[in-house]
Amino acid sequence: MSHDPQTPAIVSLAAGGVAGAVEAFATYPFEFAKTRVQLREQKGVATPKNPFKVVAQVYRTEGIKALYKGCSTLVIGSVGKDGIRFLSFDTIKNSFKDPETGTLSPVRNLAAGMCSGVVASLTAVTPTERIKTALIDDARNEKRFRSMTHCIKTIMAEDGIGGLYRGLAGTTLKQAGATAFRMGTYNILKDYERTRDIPQTTFTNFANGSVAGIVTTLATQPFDTIKTRCQSAKGASTVEAFRSIVADYGVTGFWRGTTMRLGRTVFSGGILFTTYEWAAALMMPLVVARKEKLRE
């Protein structure tokens, strides 16, 4: 992520949106597999723990289209989520920076990420995650949702606007924690490299993003599992989701799907931050030139 305090808001928003869309599409089969494993198993049909086996099984029995069920919803949501997340994080972190060194302490990095995660959850993440999860769950059972728009209309008709915010508590906790750890870890690594004059290349951006993804997954997996149970096709309250996980798998059930999510976040973290850096670098000259032209 850029450390320039003068990065325009439009650049943070647009580059974050582009990065979110690319990352969501590129890693969606892992997200699909993770969600399948976290939902309640069908009687007599055990779900493999290996993400590649889940993907292969769905491909053989349901075809390639099934692996991207709910993908358009996640891509659209990721444009808004990551655009808002990068914009709010850039805004918050710039106000927290040390004026002399231009860096943030680890605690302030995490705090800035937590705040931007809450903003993203309330504005974009919860509704799109609810729709994506409902589509994936419905595809293996009742198959009553014909499309993303039909899913939205059905949920709204049955539960009103609150139906789209099913799992808000779990999603917000997950997003606050995930953004805090992902953005915080990434920027801590960037600040460390900056103070030691380590060149910022595509490789270092990807590596930093991957490390941030691993830390994020291990720290926030329980919230993600609760969120998925809440946002199934039928829906559940946070308490019901918590109890069902314990009943099905015990305490270890809260880390159900970790392998899938790790497989995704190792790549997604690298893709997200690398794409953001590229997009921001391409947009900055255009925005600066536009500002200079308006001053003339």
Domain annotation covers residue 1: no
- pLDDT at residue number 80: 79
Domain annotation covers residue 144: yes
Domain annotation covers residue 3: no
For the whole model, what pTM was predicted? 0.59
CA distances to 59, 114, 173, 175 from 118, in Å:
35, 6, 8, 6
- pLDDT at residue number 133: 86
Domain annotation covers residue 145: yes
Q: pLDDT class for 153, splitting at 50, 70, 90?
A: very high
What does the DSSP 8-state code read for residue 200? Answer: -
Domain annotation covers residue 38: yes
- pLDDT at residue number 150: 92
Domain annotation covers residue 127: yes
Range of the domain at 193: 9-295
CATH label of the domain that carries residue 134: 1.50.40.10
Q: Choose among 242, 239, 236, 249: nearest CA to 222.
A: 242
Does residue 82 register a pLDDT over 60? Answer: yes
- pLDDT at residue number 46: 61
Domain annotation covers residue 78: yes
Q: pLDDT class for 179, splitting at 50, 70, 90?
A: confident
Q: Are 116 and 92 in contact (CB under 8 A)?
A: yes
Residues 6 or more apart whose Cβ sits within 8 Å of residue 92: 112, 115, 116
- Overall number of domains in the chain: 1
* Beta strand extents in 204-275 (DSSP E only): none
Domain annotation covers residue 2: no
